[in-house]
């Protein structure tokens, strides 16, 4: 497995759980606002047991967040092996994913406790944003899978001017309603140190914008959360 490092303890990467965060290297997408672009390449090759051993070193944690890059880019058998070991340790497992690998996601659903999946933008803009022609189709397959499986999840969007404007977000709300999605998170965009230098010049929307759109989206999704200087449930 291509491993990029571990954060021993986090209070914000797994809802209501202290967790370790494991970073995997590689991603099929090239989102211009990506802040983890240093994980596109590099890292070291390790076995699942080695990652599990590093996770085990912290006895305070209740869970593990697998992130990247895109964790599902890794070999599926090795990933399954890792999840089995972590489950044997009694840890809850959260997966951060961009939804590009529905066939792999399906094989791992039984081992996962929480999934955070990105919804990048409206269907027409997906190829340009991700760099992959089939990215929306594959994302929507993953979305259907996880809603049907009834696992605890959040669908989340980093709100970036030009990629997700107000009209786009409302349209995305309509799509989420069609898929019967129950929890949607709007995430703050930070323009420092992002992959595409042009996006470092884009001024993020103000906090009020998130709340205003969040209130509109409550008509489409039961639970809307704004993650902007903390976490705020829109009522």
Residue ranges in contact with ligand SF4 by CB under 6 A = 27, 29-31, 34, 36, 68-70, 98
CA distance 87 to 53: 13
**CB nearer ligand SF4, residue 62 or residue 103:** 103
Q: For ligand SF4, which is the closer residue by CB, 27 or 234?
A: 27
Nearest to 226 by CA among 179, 165, 218: 218
Strand partners, 234: 224
**Cβ nearer to ligand SF4, comparing 199 with 209:** 199
63 or 121: whose CB is closer to ligand SF4? 121
Give the nearest distance from C-beta 24 to ligand SF4 in angstroms.
Answer: 10
Instruction: Considering the complex, state which of residue 97 and residue 183 has its C-beta at the smaller distance from ligand SF4.
Output: 97
User: In three state form, how does the secondary structure of 216-233 look?
Assistant: HHCCCCCEEEEECCCEEE
Give me the phi and psi of 116, to 5 degrees please.
-110, 115
Cβ-based nearer residue to ligand SF4, 94 or 234: 94
Rounded CA-CA distance 139/74 in Å is 17
User: Taking the complex as a whole, how short is the minimal distance between the CB of residue 29 and ligand SF4, in angstroms?
Assistant: 4
Q: How far is the CB of 36 from ligand SF4 (least distance, A)?
A: 5
C-alpha to C-alpha distance for 211 and 216, rounded to whole angstroms: 9
Shortest Å distance, C-beta 219 to ligand SF4: 28
In the complex, least distance from residue 159 CB atom to ligand SF4, rounded to whole angstroms: 13
Q: Which residues contact 127 (CB under 8 A, 6 or more apart)?
A: 133, 135, 136
Contact 34, 191 (CB under 8 A): no
Q: Which helix (H) or strand (E) holds 118?
A: strand 114-118
Quick one: 3 or 220, whose CB is closer to ligand SF4? 3
CA–centroid distance for 212 within its chain = 23
In angstroms, the CA 161 to CA 183 distance is 22
- In angstroms, what is the minimal distance from the CB of 215 to ligand SF4? 26
Residue 56 CB, shortest distance to ligand SF4, in Å, is 26
Sign for the CA dihedral angle at 216, 220, 225, 227 comes to: negative
């Amino acid at each position: 497995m291509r491993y990029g490092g571990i954060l021993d303890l986090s209070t914000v990467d797994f809802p209501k759980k202290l967790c370790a965060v494991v970073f995997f290297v590689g991603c099929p997408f090239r989102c211009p606002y990506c802040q983890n672009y240093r994980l596109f390449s590099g890292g070291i090759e390790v076995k699942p047991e080695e990652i599990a051993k590093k996770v085990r070193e912290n006895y305070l944690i209740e869970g593990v967040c697998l992130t990247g890059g895109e964790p599902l880019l890794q070999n599926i058998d090795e990933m399954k092996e890792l999840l089995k070991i972590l489950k044997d340790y009694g840890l809850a497992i959260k997966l951060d994913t961009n939804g590009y690998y529905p066939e792999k996601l399906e094989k791992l659903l039984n081992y996962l406790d929480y999934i955070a999946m990105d919804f990048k933008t409206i269907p027409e803009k997906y190829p340009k944003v991700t760099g992959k022609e089939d990215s929306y189709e594959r994302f929507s397959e993953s979305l259907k899978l996880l809603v049907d499986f009834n696992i605890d999840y959040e669908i989340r969007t980093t709100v970036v001017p030009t990629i997700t404007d107000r009209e786009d977000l409302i349209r995305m709300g309509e799509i989420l309603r069609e898929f019967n999605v129950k929890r949607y998170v709007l995430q703050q965009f930070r323009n420092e140190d992002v992959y595409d230098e042009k996006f470092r010049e884009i001024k993020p929307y103000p906090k009020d914008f998130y709340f205003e759109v969040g209130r509109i989206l409550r008509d489409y999704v039961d639970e809307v959360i704004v993650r902007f200087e903390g976490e705020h449930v829109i009522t």
